Amino acid sequence: MLIRFTISLSLFFAAFVAPVTAQDTLRPADMQSVNLSDFPSMLSPDDLKFMILAPAEITEELYIFHGGDYKRVQVRPQALSTEHFYSGASPMKFFRKGQDEEGKVIYTPIVELGLPSGSKDLIVCLQRRGVQYTAFSLDLSLSAQPLSTVKFVNFTPANLVVILDKEKSLLEPGADLISRFEKKEKTYFNFKIGAMYEDEPKMLFSNRYPFRGEMRLLFIGFATGPGNSNESPFRVVSYRDRGPEPRALIVE
């Protein structure tokens, strides 16, 4: 059953007066990434691998401490970053770069993230509100999302109604929904997202996707906030794989 939002998001839903289709502006966000040499690379097969998702642009450069030095991380608005690696212990801390009164370079922690036990593959959802940062992780291990499944995560500050193939649920912020597939041959599933606005149900996203065999498909829905009126303030990022890739041994 649809319920009313507990916070005011009138701008968030202004564009959604009718259901949308795959041909409309709502579509999975661009996932292209750029590999740059100063991003933290793998030093050991035991390193944590992670990508960053930020709903809005973060203009300042951010860093983590990896391999005895501060390494810059890639933050791409509304898309997944390139792969990063982290060799430290939990929690993982993000820093901003600055200078002290004497002009010496310093790194100030801005947010820290507790790491799930037993996982070496994550998506880090990173958001800035004013001068404050928040972060939480999505576990990409097979124990968190098995093969032959589709998963949706609600990365918005509001309740959403989600239909994912045969599964339907009301998802609070941070909650997820998983649908499992038994067939190995190619099939199709419906994916719809709705919410209540001014006592009326509104469709935020509607599409039909193919699915085949032992793969995993992850969707993350998020609010982009006020911006270009020609763009939807609700977006969906998609990510697919066949499970975490084996780590190659590093020969010195």
Residue type, 154: N
Q: The pTM is what?
A: 0.80
Q: What is the pLDDT of residue 12?
A: 33
Taking only the tens of pLDDT, the chain with its 252 residues reads 333 333 333 333 333 333 333 333 344 444 444 445 578 899 999 999 999 999 988 999 999 999 999 999 999 999 999 999 999 999 999 999 999 989 999 999 999 999 988 899 999 999 998 889 999 999 999 999 999 999 999 999 889 999 999 999 999 999 999 999 988 889 999 999 998 777 778 899 999 999 988 899 999 999 886 554 455 688 999 999 999 988 776 545
Neighbours of 159 (CB within 10 A): 19
Only one residue has tokens 């990508």, namely: 51
Which is nearest to 161 in space by CA: 5, 14, 18, 26? 5
Which is nearest to 137 in space by CA: 164, 165, 166, 117? 117
Sequence spans of domains, the chain: 10-241
Contacts of 197 (CB under 8 A, 6+ apart): 5, 9, 10, 13, 16
For every residue of the chain, DSSP letters joined together read -----SS--HHHHTT-SS---TTSS--BPP------TTSPPPSSTTSEEEEEEBSS---S-EEEEETTEEEEE---BTSB---EEE-SPSSEEEEEEEE-TTS-EEEEEEEEEPPPTT--EEEEEEEEETTEEEEEEEE-STTTS-SSEEEEEEESSS-EEEEETTEEEEE-TT-EEEEE----S-EEEEEEEEEEETTEEEEEEEEEEEE-SS-EEEEEEEE--S--TTS-SEEEEEEEESSPPPPPPPP-
Q: What is the pLDDT of residue 173?
A: 93
Q: What is the pLDDT of residue 191?
A: 97
C-alpha 232 chain-centroid distance? 17
> Is residue 83 a contact partner of residue 49, using CB atoms and an 8 Å limit?
yes
